[in-house]
Amino acid sequence: MLMLAPVHWKHRQRTVLKGMVMPHRRRKHIVFALCMLLLSFVVVLQAGYTATLTAAQAKDHVGETATICGVVASATFAARTKGQPTFLNLDQPYPTHSFTALIWGSDRPKFGQPEVVYKGKRMCVTGTIKVFRGIPEIVVTDPGQLREAASAR
The dihedral through the CA atoms of 36, 127, 59, 130 has a sign that is: positive
Of 49 and 11, the structure prediction assigns the larger pLDDT to 49
List pLDDT tens digits, range 98-135.
Answer: 999 999 999 999 999 999 999 999 999 999 999 999 99
Please report the DSSP string for the chain in residue order: ---EEEEEETTEEEEEETTEEEEHHHHHHHHHHHHHHHHHHHHHHHHH--EEEETTTGGGGTTSEEEEEEEEEEEEE-TTSTT--EEEEESS-TTS-S-EEEE-TTTGGGTSSHHHHSTTSEEEEEEE-EEETTEEEEE--SGGGEEEPPS--
Tell me the average pLDDT across 123-150: 96
What would be the CATH architecture of the domain defined by 51-148?
Beta Barrel (2.40)
- Confirm if 126 and 90 have CB atoms less than 8 A apart: no
Domain boundaries, the chain: 4-48, 51-148
Report the distance separating Cα 7 and Cα 43, nearest Å: 37
Using pLDDT thresholds of 50, 70 and 90, give the confidence band for residue 137.
Answer: very high
pLDDT computed for residue 46 by the predictor = 45
For the cut 60, the answer to whether the pLDDT of residue 20 exceeds it is no
pLDDT computed for residue 13 by the predictor = 55
For the cut 70, the answer to whether the pLDDT of residue 36 exceeds it is no
The pTM is what?
Answer: 0.68
Of 16 and 62, the structure prediction assigns the larger pLDDT to 62
